[in-house]
Homo-oligomer: A and B are copies of this chain.
């Protein structure tokens, strides 16, 4: 089912620095991938001049959902917004995937309401790839469902494993349940109930993992509710920023440190690069009938380019079919 070519819808109005940064990201994504086609969705004055240029098609959307708007309400009210129009193009199979660095809640709502859930999926989940010490780890749900039931966590396990297979190329992903102890009887009632379901129903399940596992690369997929997952993601963001800032400060605190700092700068830069979440480009909402990738609002051109590349990769790997089969228990 996979295909070399891929058509991705891009919301040119998504993100803090849209549309400039988005257009720049589109340009580098197209340059890096000769089989990529892009549908640019946004206001006529932004997109029309790109229609037919290179492998771009322009689709006019007259409305914009801002970063601060109420997600579900905005999706219902603004039928001609770039997010809703983009989602509709995926729903109508005019494109395989959609990328936006816009209002995360609105993108999730459009993916669920307009693109639609895959059959058998109870609740779509937002996944994020955490760059780790060794290998990267897929963490989900990172914010779509603040309150979940144990059966949902089992489905998240199936969906996360499918995502790791398609995106990270791991053939038989290991899956851990985020908990506050390793024994099966540890943790909240939810975690204990989910443990039993995952143990009986998910190949690759290795049991509970603690918070330390998130960035240590010991497991391919970590499953949790959208509350804990979102807190985890933002704790990581906050600490990374703080620590790397402090290291930088330490390296420039005196003239001699500055000189020595200049010497080690390339190595530290490479480290920062390797740990930069932007290389993975975005968080997909898994469980909907198309690839819907949501970028960080603060994405730079590089983050947008990575996000589009990740969306194309998921489309080529036929992620929705893989997830559908995994959730329904069919062998993939």
Contact = CB atoms under 8 A, between A and B. Distances in A.
B250 A187 contact: no
A216 B240 contact: no
The number of times this chain is found in the oligomer is 2
A256 B246 contact: no
Nearest to A214: B235
Interface stretch (A81-89, A263-271, A299-307): A263-271
A133 B242 CA distance: 6
A214 B228 contact: no
A191 B231 contact: no
A239 interface: yes
A325 interface: no
Interface stretch (A45-53, A108-116, A205-213): A205-213
Given A216-B242, A261-B260, A146 B235 contact: no
A116 B128 CA distance: 43
A206 B247 CA distance: 30
B133 A227 contact: no
A236 interface: yes
A298 interface: no
A135 interface: no
A286 interface: no
B233 A147 contact: no
Q: Which of A143, A178, A271 has its CB near the most chain B CB atoms (within 10 A)? A: A271
A164 to B, nearest CB: 19
Interface in A164-213: 178, 180, 186-189, 191, 210-213
Contacts of A211: 230-238
A93 B211 CA distance: 37
A187 B239 contact: no
Interface string A273-314: 001000000000000000000000000000000000000000
A215 B227 contact: no
Contact of A214 (B215, B238, B268): B238
Contacts of A259: 260, 263
A121 interface: no
Interface in A120-138: 132-133
Nearest to A147: B188
Nearest to A237: B212
A5 interface: no
For A147, A210, A231, A268, the residue with the greatest tally of chain B CB atoms inside 10 Å of its CB is A231
12 contacts: A133-B245, A133-B246, A180-B234, A211-B237, A212-B234, A215-B242, A216-B242, A232-B235, A235-B236, A247-B268, A257-B267, A260-B264
Given A212-B238, A235-B235, 4 more contacts: A143-B180, A211-B231, A249-B271, A251-B264
Interface of A: 132-133, 143, 146-147, 178, 180, 186-189, 191, 210-216, 224, 226-228, 230-247, 249-251, 253-254, 256-257, 259-261, 263-264, 267-268, 270-271, 275
